Amino acid sequence: MDILRRMAEYRSQEDTLKWEGTFSEYVELVKERPWIAQSAHSRVYNMIKEAGVEDRNGKRDYLFFKNQLFGLEEPLEKLVEEYFHPAARRLDVKKRILLLMGPVSGGKSTLVTMMKRGMENYSRTDKGAVYAIKGCPMHEDPLHLIPHALREDFYKEYGIRIEGNLSPLNLMRLEKEFDGQIENVPVERIFFSEDKRVGIGTFSPSDPKSQDIADLTGSLDFSTIAEYGSESDPRAYRFDGELNKANRGMMEFQEMLKCDEKFLWHLLSLTQEGNFKAGRFALISADEMIVAHTNETEYRSFISNRKNEALHSRIIVMPIPYNLQVTQEEKIYEKLISESDVSDVHIAPHTLRIAAMFTILTRLKEPKRKDIDLIKKMRLYDGEQVEGFNSADLEELKREYEDEGMTGIDPRYVINRISSTIIRKEVSSINALDVLRSLKEGLDQHASITKDVKEAYLGFISLARREFDDMAKKEVQKAFVYSYEESAKTLMDNYLDNVEAYCHKSKLRDPLTGEEMTPDEKLMRSIEEQIGISENAKKAFREEILIRISTYARKGQRFEYQSHDRLREAIQKKLFADLKDVVKITTSSKTPDEQQLKKMNEVIARLIDEHGYNTTSANELLKYVGSLLNR
């Protein structure tokens, strides 16, 4: 890439977006494109909506957040539908501070950063264009120039409501520079930029003794008082506080509840009336969305303080819990690793998934229902089909605890342990056992974990280890089966032929000799016993299989061995059971013979070519499965 040429092209594109004109020319623009006069909240909502919306089982996924935030589809849908949308429609919600509450490393800061970057990009589009009075440090809305007496008529003609008063500085400029002739006031297109402090502000609390309220509202420029002769002259005031600079866009109030109370008082008027007090001036109008974030402990402390009651009603709290889906947690780790300098290290298949299982188990609460355990709950939350449960059961589980996902292990801890594993092992490959071992060792160094919690977490590591053991055995056993799908299909077809003959009380015909045979009860039971079908229940199970086959046939669909969850499990377990001895002998032999060595090499090649392992991780997997089968 020719970076210098690309930079020149970028500057050229930026120049084409610039616009300057008079207020009268701006009014013509508003007539053609009324959306350019939208409020800050409306701009945020439209930015999110125009990125795309997908329907998911009656729920909405907003694509603006895709590939950055994982497993937060429901909280994000609630955020958009219950805050951004009504605020964009000028409902009372827009007069509230948006407070994102959730555990550390849960995605709050990432969400706010995404919105800030999104606003910067959106202001460079036609739909997101923003215009301001030229030379105004607060990037004031040009429509504020229209006198209050004319605003109702303007609304009737243009359909645009004007809220807010002209700032003290622009009021003086209008009188002194333009002799009250509004139509001549210059207007320009502005582009949001956090770095340049245009339309995006960030306030972070520091020591209350040293931090000045001017950080929020601006301050007097003492060097100009002698020139202008008065502290109440707006030209002697620096409108450079975060509330000033965030006007027309959004301001992030980091750790808002850690702030000294006097910093929060200014938010009372800003949220309810859309203005704030600064210096010796009238109230200054501001159109901006304030987003704050905090954790649950600080929020509980805040609402318990009666002195904060006035601010309570001006806050809308949106819980941002941890992700509770294993698959989505895995994507979080993949994203964080891809952004690091260790992205070239080979991570064996299932490694991140097993780490994610441990993490999700720490966040889930024990089900109140006796017929489900944490592992089943974890699988249901991840969208897996669990025998005996349906979507209604899933919704019931989600309703059991309102605060589920607000505690548990955070992604940073897991990534830190994965990083530690990569650095310490000093090889080009790590596996699930390496990471589980590192997670276990790291619990001793985790300052916030009590003894009881640590014991519970060690239990979750054991559960995750058992899940990995099952995955590892199945992976190796699959690799040992040549044409696994064909073997499974053959076994299923044989079983179904026998089941059909059994249920219809008929005979089978030998394909080679043509002789009639009775159904092979031994074969059928060897498969059914794999999933615990008792002698008394076998007839009902076989009849249910035939009903399922006829249902598929009526719909013109082909019945495969994966079409029935329990039958699929039985077929797999039967295949694996038949292979167990072969796998055991081959993987555990210290001095394999030529045939065993050939088989081992075939399995390793298949693990590499079809399952994503490299030579090191494939060999480690074979050795581990061999040790499991020898126990």
- 620 φ/ψ sector (left φ>0, alpha ψ -120 to 50, else beta): alpha
Is residue 69 within 8 Å of residue 108, measured between CB atoms? no
CB atoms within 10 A of CB 566: 16
∠ CA 291-139-6, nearest 5°, is 85
Q: Cα–Cα distance between 589 and 597 in angstroms, integer?
A: 10
pLDDT digits (tens, 9 = 90+) for 275-305: 888 878 888 899 999 999 888 888 888 888 8
Q: What is the pTM of this model?
A: 0.82
pLDDT (0 to 100) of residue 425: 62
Greatest distance between any 2 Cα atoms in the chain:
116
CB atoms within 10 A of CB 240: 16
pLDDT (0 to 100) of residue 271: 81
Helix intervals (H) in 481-593: 484-503, 521-528, 538-554, 565-588
Tell me the CB-side half-sphere exposure of residue 48, using CA atoms within 13 A: 23
* Paired tokens of 69: 């935030």
Give residue 556's Cα distance to chain centre. 39
* Paired tokens of 419: 């990083």
What does the DSSP 8-state code read for residue 323? Answer: P
What does the DSSP 8-state code read for residue 210? Answer: T
Sign of CA dihedral 444, 449, 451, 452: negative
pLDDT (0 to 100) of residue 10: 83
Q: Cα–Cα distance between 371 and 378 in angstroms, integer?
A: 14
The domain defined by 17-319 carries CATH number 2.40.280.10: no
Helix axes 351-363, 374-381, angle to 10 degrees: 110
Which residues of the chain are under the pLDDT cut of 70? 1, 208, 342, 425-427, 447, 482-484, 512, 588-589, 631
Could you state, in order of their start, the residue ranges of all structural domains in the chain? Answer: 17-319, 326-478, 484-580
CA distances from 172 to 226, 236, 286, 401, 535 (A): 18, 12, 18, 57, 94
